Structure 1
Amino acid sequence: MNYKNITKPAANKIIIVAGLIFIAVFCFAADSKNKPVQKSPMPADIRLVKNHLTIITQTPEFRNHENGDQLNAIADYVKENFSKYGDSTTFQEYQVEGKIYKNVITSFGTEHTKRIIIGAHYDVCGDQQGADDNATGVTALLELARMLKGQKLNYRIDLVAYTLEEPPYFRTENMGSYIHAQYLKNHNIEVYGMASVEMIGYFKDEKDSQSYPLGILSWVYGHKGDFITLVKKFSAGNFVNNFTSNFKETNQIKTETFTAPKLVKGTDFSDHLNYWKFGYSALMITDTSFFRNKNYHQTTDTLETLDLERMTKVIDGIFLSLIHMK
């Protein structure tokens, strides 16, 4: 970059962003080495995780927006499994260009008014299996449904499997998460907060296996893709702050928190962006997507590339965070 050609407003913007990132990195990164690992009353089952991932990725057609029947088949599979455990399970149907698409919703703790949304999209970008993006997120929802059954909760928890997160509908009002967030807002439903589960299965311990939107971040987070990230914005809200604290306390897996403005690349690349639009406290749980996983949106994004053991630890962390939420 030729700094001589940068205008004063642009230079000021760069300084402000750099300063915010500096604050985020050095104030919010946490060390959990000396904390005990919380024991889960209902741990994630790696065998069930692998089975769900296999069924979701090994489909007759790719589960993209052009294959509506395949998307609906996945929605049926999710609903069938949700129905085994949830207090209530429904489709949220809507129409785009003459086709019917479906979000799948199951609820726990329905005696409570205020709710927490845990969501993940089940569609893929183009003709590929999308194992990490985002069969891992949907599988997390399926396991969480099993784990949450019968648990004492302080909030209603809605697990939502979204459709149409991927292009060409990303950042449009046709995203399943936009439809869902708008419904909550229009009906004045009390929402404590939302977490988007977006790619949680890819980990690497090799040096230089992790990149960042800003090179300075490697000074604190390191060069290895061996952690899960909780991505939030400044003034994230009570839910995000409480969830983040709970997740770190579980100490299930190496965890980093990244707090930054939305203009930093990647911070709003999932369904939580639509809850931000409607003013809800929301965050993303991710393995950092394309900053680590070079199979992103490629035919190489397959089940064999995933670290299922660490993925189950992420699910355990989400579960423990939810049942301990005050």
Structure 2
Amino acid sequence: MLQMPGESYRDALLPLTVEEQELAQELETDVIKIASEPHNFLAYNNLVQTAQYLENELTRAGYQVNHYQYTVDGQEFDNLEVEIPGTTQPKEIILIGAHYDSVANVPGANDNGSGAAAVLALARRFAGKPQQKTLRFVEFVNEEPPFFWTPDMGSFVYAQICDQRQDNIVGMMSLETMGYYSDRLGSQQYPAPLNLFYPMQGNFIAFIGNVDSGNWVRQAIGSFRKHTQFPSEGAAVPSFLPGVGWSDHWSFWQQGYPGLMITDTAPFRYPYYHRAEDTPDKIDYGKLAQVVAGLERVIREVTN
């Protein structure tokens, strides 16, 4: 459950390439647009504006955006989907998703403006570039309470639709709270007993799934380690451990799909988790750019 292919990168990080510098600026611009103010069912107008921004940017990248709208207590909510059909294995789908809502009264720059911006950046880079498998990008609504782990959670609504139409999702990646890193010893916490096996410095990106998704976790982190010089840790552990199912990949587990979360581990590291201080200035955009660039290489490999 804990042994992963390859080794985590341990040396000093390389300087950003020109492309990574541009990506860092792009991510910062998007996070500021997405998550400078609370945007959720209580700040509904802001939530609608965030969805509109994401749709406009995806349309500008050349996509036809599909809406999966549903209603809760008289309010309409949107999951946004774009897709690039595969060339030789179109029925096999790789899905990259993140939630774009924030928790109540919080801007949510890291949770989850960082993930929503990462999905947007990746979608831009694959636009008009078909891979062998079908590639799908989805921005989910309503991940945060009171919708979390309920039938009204945006990704749960969407995953049910996928199951009903028998979509063959062979791997789902949830990009969740990805922008905070620290080299300070003791900056990383874990639910027991994982603290016995993993580093105490919060300077890595984590690939986390349940036991049934173990092969998918190993495939993804193995590709990341092969192509990207950035610290990484992985685990495929029982879903009852705290934190393992705390994002949209959980919804896909409920429908039998393999899913993993790619994260800085959120409350186990990020001191501003679910706090009003979760603002765009707290994110390390350079490191986030290195991670997203690495995920672009992972997606290219797993879709081919």
Read off the aligned partner of 2:43 and give its amino acid letter: N
| Pair 1:90 & 2:81 matched | no
Per the alignment, residue 78 of structure 1 pairs with 54
Per the alignment, residue 297 of structure 1 pairs with 274
Per the alignment, residue 99 of structure 2 pairs with 121
**What displacement does 1:128 show?**
1.2
| Pair 1:131 & 2:140 matched | no
Farther off after superposition, 219-228 or 233-242: 233-242
The answer to whether the 8 A contact 2:5-2:218 is kept is no
Read off the aligned partner of 1:85 and give its amino acid letter: A
The answer to whether the 8 A contact 2:189-2:269 is kept is yes
Per the alignment, residue 184 of structure 1 pairs with 162
The answer to whether the 8 A contact 2:99-2:112 is kept is yes
1:266 to 235, 238, 243: 243
Read off the aligned partner of 2:230 and give its amino acid letter: I
2:231 to 244, 251, 254: 254
In the superposition, relative to structure 1, how do residues 204 and 168 fare at CA in structure 2: closer, same or farther (>3 Å)?
Answer: same
Per the alignment, residue 31 of structure 1 pairs with 7
SS of the equivalent of 1:45 reads helix
In the superposition, relative to structure 1, how do residues 158 and 81 fare at CA in structure 2: closer, same or farther (>3 Å)?
Answer: same
Regions of 4+ moved over 6 Å: 39-42
In the superposition, relative to structure 1, how do residues 184 and 41 fare at CA in structure 2: closer, same or farther (>3 Å)?
Answer: farther
Structure number, greater radius of gyration: 1
Read off the aligned partner of 2:164 and give its amino acid letter: N
State how far apart, in whole Å, the 2-side matches of 1:297 and 1:151 are. Answer: 37
The answer to whether the 8 A contact 2:8-2:233 is kept is no
| Pair 1:174 & 2:160 matched | no
Per the alignment, residue 228 of structure 1 pairs with 205
State how far apart, in whole Å, the 1-side matches of 2:228 and 2:183 are. Answer: 18
| Pair 1:288 & 2:265 matched | yes
State how far apart, in whole Å, the 2-side matches of 1:242 and 1:40 are. Answer: 26
The answer to whether the 8 A contact 1:91-1:104 is kept is yes
Per the alignment, residue 29 of structure 2 pairs with 51
The answer to whether the 8 A contact 2:177-2:266 is kept is yes
Gaps of 5+ in 2: none
In the superposition, relative to structure 1, how do residues 32 and 49 fare at CA in structure 2: closer, same or farther (>3 Å)?
Answer: same
2:172 to 194, 198, 217: 194
The answer to whether the 8 A contact 1:102-1:162 is kept is yes
SS of the equivalent of 2:82 reads strand
Per the alignment, residue 100 of structure 1 pairs with 76
**What displacement does 1:104 show?**
0.9
SS of the equivalent of 1:137 reads helix
TM-score, with length taken from structure 1:
0.85
**What displacement does 1:68 show?**
2.2
The answer to whether the 8 A contact 1:29-1:256 is kept is no
| Pair 1:312 & 2:301 matched | no
In the superposition, relative to structure 1, how do residues 109 and 34 fare at CA in structure 2: closer, same or farther (>3 Å)?
Answer: farther
In the superposition, relative to structure 1, how do residues 237 and 229 fare at CA in structure 2: closer, same or farther (>3 Å)?
Answer: closer
State how far apart, in whole Å, the 2-side matches of 1:144 and 1:318 are. Answer: 8
**What displacement does 1:30 show?**
4.8
The answer to whether the 8 A contact 1:32-1:251 is kept is no
State how far apart, in whole Å, the 1-side matches of 2:85 and 2:17 are. Answer: 19
**What displacement does 1:84 show?**
2.1
| Pair 1:65 & 2:41 matched | yes
The answer to whether the 8 A contact 1:193-1:281 is kept is yes
TM-score, with length taken from structure 2:
0.91
Farther off after superposition, 232-241 or 71-80: 232-241
Farther off after superposition, 218-227 or 274-283: 218-227
Per-residue CA deviation, residues 147-167 of structure 1 (Å, 9 max, x unaligned), is 112334121111111111000
Per the alignment, residue 144 of structure 1 pairs with 122
Identity %: 29
The answer to whether the 8 A contact 2:71-2:77 is kept is yes
**What displacement does 1:240 show?**
3.6
In the superposition, relative to structure 1, how do residues 230 and 148 fare at CA in structure 2: closer, same or farther (>3 Å)?
Answer: same
Count of residue pairs the alignment pairs up = 298
**What displacement does 1:259 show?**
2.0
The answer to whether the 8 A contact 2:9-2:230 is kept is no
Read off the aligned partner of 1:196 and give its amino acid letter: S
